[in-house]
Chains A and B, each alone.
Chain A
């Protein structure tokens, strides 16, 4: 089937800006792992769709704010994560869990009129914790997170992420490609045998197939005018799913596996795809997890933040850091194989490029495409 996605969806700045407003800003966004916020004053700061966001632990309570001091717009937390009070280093303003500010030398130096002073506080965002995952929503009227992911997906993400250990290794890759190429790639089960023949495909034989029911549903969806928000949200929930994906070629058997409380006990590759831009996988039957957050920063630039964790340790063991490091290094070639393909595709795209031809096995991507274009054309709003 011929794709309806115009090349502008992948290369055009105006399209990207509109996508941020219509798709990303209304939706819940992963921002980090709960374990990285597990003590008073622990924080994570990220910039999502151009908005600097800080999530801060106030004596066990997590709060999300715009990471901008209301005085002179200095970022309050400068490091991407750490443990530090919510305190602006420029003029010493500090903030409490409600975003209210304490201003040193306020009477002597600032003398704000009462009305103005009442407006001086941080902009607060909605926050939800799903198991070990923290999500934020920058919308003034956030939709319930259940409406984005669905109860079953939320339960599955919560249950699996509650098995994460607190020790985590993290890095960022700079991808020179549009973020949509990632979710298309992740929902394409036919690529691993060609892109990862010597790496991932050695351990797991992913087999793409055509789901006739799914295909029928796609045809029905394509025949309808998608204007009803409720229907659009219901469809969007079907784009997030997770759990067992493919059986492993051999039982996982690394020396450190006995040190962790394995998530379930099945020798499967697990995958959780949370639309639009979060991917969690366990390539060793629940002994460890890779969490990928694909942050769009431009039409042809995506920050690829990757976390690796093992399942919870039964008790601390000396070489756990080496296990995480080996995990990151082991996954690196697979990530780079994907990144290389996506960057190649991005380089070929131009304003007059012809549309892609999707196979029937790509019915999920075709469905997302139809949904996404309806959103971008303003047929419904999130």
Chain B
């Protein structure tokens, strides 16, 4: 029987396992927990040890460390030859023509409007709205309920947190974290971190 390995840690792993099981009660869904602080070699050893016959995979990690661990795990899964089809939860609305890349996760009730483009490994949380023609970079993480305006662009590995709305046409650079509820109406430079915990943005220079 086909098997689905859901590989990751913590809450995201449990959520993804539940979502795959809800999609197909007959699917043999197996959770593969990656130990905290495991290095690349240890992760690879875990993935390589899986019986890959008739198996597919899905990577489910939170956006910690600017989504690098999630990206790294997805790369290991791909390098091991496991395919990782997108997960589209029940109730999500994906406009015709929108391509679903490898390991994309579209949460329940999310709406993807026409002509939006998604990079591999993106996460779009439950109830999020991605506007017409918006672009989400590889491994971007869009939390539940976020609104991405028409024509907006979210950079590679950027994280948009709960309660944020990105205005139409706004560009958010790679590796940004926007985790302060509110609307962003101006472009945000790459590696800028706007957080509830900090009154002033945090920025990286000299990359």
- Contact surface of A with B, Cβ cutoff 8 Å: 35-36, 38, 81, 165-174, 255, 318-322, 324-326, 328, 332
Residues in A whose Cβ lies below 8 Å from that of B206:
35-36, 38, 165-168
Residues in B whose Cβ lies below 8 Å from that of A168:
204-206
Residue of B nearest to A172 (CB): B200
Contact A321:B175 (CB < 8 A) given known A172-B200, A326-B65: yes
Q: How far is the CA of A321 from the CA of B39 in the complex (A)?
A: 18
Residues in B whose Cβ lies below 8 Å from that of A326:
65
Q: List residues 186-200 of chain B with CB under 8 A from any CB of chain A.
A: 191, 193, 197-200
- B193 contacts A325, C-beta separation under 8 Å: yes
Residues in B whose Cβ lies below 8 Å from that of A171:
193, 198, 200-203
Q: How far is the CA of A21 from the CA of B147 in the complex (A)?
A: 51
Contact A169:B199 (CB < 8 A) given known A319-B65, A322-B66: no
Residues in A whose Cβ lies below 8 Å from that of B205:
35-36, 81, 167-170
Residues in A whose Cβ lies below 8 Å from that of B66:
319, 321-322, 325
- B204 contacts A325, C-beta separation under 8 Å: yes
Return the contact of B197 from the options A166, A172, A174, A332 (Cβ within 8 A).
A332
- A321 contacts B204, C-beta separation under 8 Å: yes
The 9 closest A-B pairs by CB, nearest first: A171-B202, A166-B206, A322-B65, A172-B200, A322-B66, A319-B68, A167-B206, A322-B68, A169-B204
Q: How far is the CA of A165 from the CA of B205 in the complex (A)?
A: 11
Residues in A whose Cβ lies below 8 Å from that of B201:
171
Residue of B nearest to A318 (CB): B68
A332 to chain B, nearest CB (A): 7
Residues in A whose Cβ lies below 8 Å from that of B26:
none
The yes or no answer to B207 lying at the interface (CB within 8 A) is yes
A323 to chain B, nearest CB (A): 8
Q: How far is the CA of A325 from the CA of B64 in the complex (A)?
A: 10
Contact A174:B207 (CB < 8 A) given known A319-B65, A321-B191: no
Residues in A whose Cβ lies below 8 Å from that of B177:
325
B72 to chain A, nearest CB (A): 8
A248 to chain B, nearest CB (A): 19
Residues in B whose Cβ lies below 8 Å from that of A166:
206
Return the contact of A169 from the options B39, B65, B200, B203 (Cβ within 8 A).
B203
Q: How far is the CA of A169 from the CA of B191 in the complex (A)?
A: 9
Return the contact of B199 from the options A170, A174, A321 (Cβ within 8 A).
A174
Residues in B whose Cβ lies below 8 Å from that of A36:
205-206
Q: How far is the CA of A169 from the CA of B204 in the complex (A)?
A: 4
Q: How far is the CA of A324 from the CA of B203 in the complex (A)?
A: 10
Q: How far is the CA of A28 from the CA of B1 in the complex (A)?
A: 73
Q: List residues 138-185 of chain B with CB under 8 A from any CB of chain A.
A: 175, 177
Q: How far is the CA of A344 from the CA of B65 in the complex (A)?
A: 33
Contact A325:B207 (CB < 8 A) given known A169-B202, A171-B201, A171-B202: no
Residues in A whose Cβ lies below 8 Å from that of B207:
167, 320-321
- B39 contacts A167, C-beta separation under 8 Å: no
